[in-house]
Structure 1
Amino acid sequence: MDSSPPKYNGTQNPEEWLKEFRFFCLLRGIHEEHEMLELALLKIDNTIPIPKEGISSFSDLSNLLKDHVTYTLQCKVAFEELKGIKYNVDVNIVDFIAKFLSLCANSHVINVQDQKTCLVQACPDDVVRDIFINKIKKQPSMHRVIEIFHDTMTEYKSQIRYGSRVALKHVVTSQYLSHGKKHKPDPLRANLSEVFCSSWKRSENDVWIVTATYGQNKAPGDPIFFNSMIQLVHEKTREALFGDEGQLNLSGAWVWTLTDPRTNWIVQSHDLLHYDNPDYVMDGDIITLRHNLNKMSLQSHEFKNSDGNQEVIIHGDGQGDIHKVQ
């Protein structure tokens, strides 16, 4: 059998505590309200004064508990937490919304416009906040606002951002852009180490970090638009994807140990290679990586290098299927 509810000491929500107490009484076969009320009064902490007369119903008791200073402080604390709450993509969104609505109730934020304002402030960053504001601007239903919040955050989680860890798969051969566990110097240029495509199964050597180019005013977490310039840093070796600046018909691709303009790449949608796509780069998009200086695109094919790995080169205008990266 369940144990009795804890003593009410001012830290619980009065309505929730009374509901739990009534539930306990019903489980014990106590159905008369006056009996429940007598028992409830015995479970209230001595620091909360109870008048000898005037408490004849649970409604009276609820009002009494809400008049106490501890409840006033509960509401203030809940409101401060509500103002500071932020959505974290690692948290289940149902849990987040349940907590948000609970804080709204506990802080007496019941007006739809006020709730919308608080939910806007809970957005993870300014970019997604602006998107969410535009979507809910004329929406009078809080139920619908919450649904829109869910959809917007689902899209947010799929955005590629500065600081994202990504694996780049060559679409035609389904192999991942890779590099060994350590720098393997090129025979002619020791600062260079070859990259390649080596496996259909992703490994730790296939992970790259999307970073801003030198001098860009971008913060980790900022979304990446198509036609943005980025660097790709190999997570294991901390070396950046590099391409030769010359206008060559065929040029290798390496990683590079130094900060250099030749490690800058333009992210383009393969379906829209011209500079006319305002959208964000999303997980699963098929892209082309165009070198910033020589304007040629990263590609791969089934030819093997001396180590038996699939070659990665920089060649062409990016319109062929062999330039597709996902």
Structure 2
Amino acid sequence: MSHNHVHITKNNVKANNLVYSILLNLLITISQVVGGIISGSLALISDALHNFSDVLSLVFSLVAHKLSRRKASIEHTFGYKRAEILAAFVNASTLIIVALILIYGAINRFIHPEPIKSTLVIWLAVLGIFANGFSVILLKNDADHNLNMKSAYLHLLTDMMASVAVLVGGLLMKFYGWFWVDSVMTILIAIYLIVVGFDLVIKSTKMLMLFTPEHIDIKEIVREVHKIEGAGKLHHIHVWYLNEEEIHLEAHLDCPEDFTLTQFDEVLNNIEKVLFEKFGINHTTIQPEFKKEDPKEFIVQD
């Protein structure tokens, strides 16, 4: 079995930005818990709960980021490269769980409304907007090319939006006495959390389940490989994300001739070049065969 590996340029994710965001969210969480208890605002306590989930998710993202940089070993031949995908899945799942808890509490408060000290709610919401906004700016660039960082970024972005909603609700309560707005804002925050969390859960689940990347057409891969001189029938194909930086392909190649290893290496190099340049596949493992009796379908259940 021949195996080729294209050099991968790793994205330089800044772990220090996660540390700063963790500290900021700890400050917000403590402030909002105290303020929510004093003011009686469920939306503020809900926002604090979301902030605390942010702290946990950011810590998890930081740990996963550190683990993903560890070198492979005999015991862990892939290292911990999938740690960040796992972190993204867990973080996205917590977004949905927190949202369901918020909806339950909001409905209960809507049925049994209580007066709220809106001035404190307003000032703490402003604190949340600025602190989370700064954290969002810190993680924005990394979120564009790293699923783990995107999950942390979405936690912070939704929390900033939650603080905006709390601020609007606080102003309406202060000037109009609409205390029911607290529950409505909480439900709106929760619905948004479910929407963004679900999308990320789907993406990370597909990676964890080793599904074929959405942008890759296996039939097109076969057509391109079959154009290469000396390449026979490509079959028994698997394509998957190891992590966001590595797309792996393994397959069998039914060679038309009884090649020498040198001849096969030339064919393999051409295959690798096509796979990388046209499909972004940077890790290729191909098992050469000659007149071997085995299934020749593109996809074969192992």
Q: Bigger radius of gyration, 1 or 2?
A: 1
Q: Same fold (TM over 0.5)?
A: no
Please, what TM-score do these two structures have when normalized by structure 1?
0.26
Higher helix share: 2
Please, what TM-score do these two structures have when normalized by structure 2?
0.28
